[in-house]
Chain A
Amino acid sequence: MSGAGHHRNAELQARVNRLLDLAESRGVITRGQVDARIEAFGDRVTARNGADMVVRAWNSPEYRERLLADAGAAAAELGHAGGGYSSDIRLHAVANTPTVHHVVVCTLCSCYPLAWLGPPPAWYKSEAYRSRVVRDPRGVLREFGLVLPNSTEVRVWDASAEARYLVVPQRPPGAEELSEDAQRDLVTRDCLIGVAVPRLPAEVSR
């Protein structure tokens, strides 16, 4: 980072420090609790939770049905409870098929299933993604390396109210021979947002 960048960062950190003190003095949250939450975004509250749900759905038609009917309850079944801002926020899962591909955005801010996947990546919050994916989803997906045939219909979900969306990608052919752990590795965060699809590493495919 440049010298000016460092200075700016220090300035912003100082502003946040004042709020951390204020939050603690008002009994809202302690510094220790803030640190613990940030740590959870590194290990417990991550896209692994969403991958867990997807792989269970790949391997259990009954779970898949429950996931598509009530994703919040299906997440809780696997120990991935919601939480976060408000109990009004609920999760909804949308499943890709051979002819339909789903992709998620929030054009008004950056609503994201963070209670289940952790905080969103930088590109998800960018004006570039949020402005374009509703107007030119195929172009945006192409930039992510995902080229969809004309016969596939794209469904963009703009999370503008209380629902948060999770994409359930299709299991790539051959993946059924992998262990559930190895299947989970295929389901990246980007697959759960819908800007990628799970792919078998070349050496595993046959």
Chain B
Amino acid sequence: MSFAVGDRVRVLTMNPPGHNRAPRYVRGHVGEVVRLVGDGRFPDESAVIGDAARREDIVTVAFAGPELWGPDSHTGDRVHVDLFVSYLEAVGERSDGGRTR
């Protein structure tokens, strides 16, 4: 799966038993891809099989404060989290009108 800057994404709701680098506070939440970071070893695998782990793309996702913390959060504030793409699913309409999923 690959994403472009501007895509809306949701972090999967998940509770894997092993190592995982999607912080709990963003799981299930929707944000926007703002930057492509490049790739890295997929941590869930790298924690078990080391350097034999597959490589995967990482994107920076910006979450609006209220999306994560509710109405008390400042509406203009954002939290950026770097996430491996298999932690994410595409959501909603793209600006070109086509559905991504």
Binding site for B on A (CB under 8 A): 88, 90, 92, 107-108, 134-135, 137-138, 150, 153-163
- Beyond A153-B78, A154-B76, 18 additional contacts (C-beta under 8 Å) are A108-B21, A108-B23, A135-B73, A137-B77, A153-B74, A153-B76, A153-B77, A155-B78, A156-B78, A156-B79, A159-B82, A160-B23, A160-B81, A161-B40, A161-B83, A162-B39, A162-B40, A162-B82
Q: Which residue of B lies closest to A102 (CB)?
A: B80
**What count of chain B residues pass the 8 Å CB interface test?**
27
**Given contacts A90-B38, A107-B23, is CB(A163)–CB(B60) below 8 Å?**
yes
Q: Which residues of A sit under 8 angstroms from B27, Cβ to Cβ?
A: none
Assess the A163–B79 pair: CB atoms within 8 A: no
Most buried by B among A150, A154, A161: A161
Give the distance to chain B from A187, nearest Cβ to Cβ, in Å. 22
Chain B positions 29 through 73: 1 when the CB is less than 8 Å from some CB of chain A, otherwise 0 = 000000101111101000000000000001010100000110001
Assess the B38–A154 pair: CB atoms within 8 A: no
Interface CB pairs A-B, < 8 A, 6: A108-B23, A134-B25, A158-B81, A158-B82, A160-B23, A162-B82
Q: Which residues of A sit under 8 angstroms from B22, Cβ to Cβ?
A: 160
Assess the A161–B80 pair: CB atoms within 8 A: no
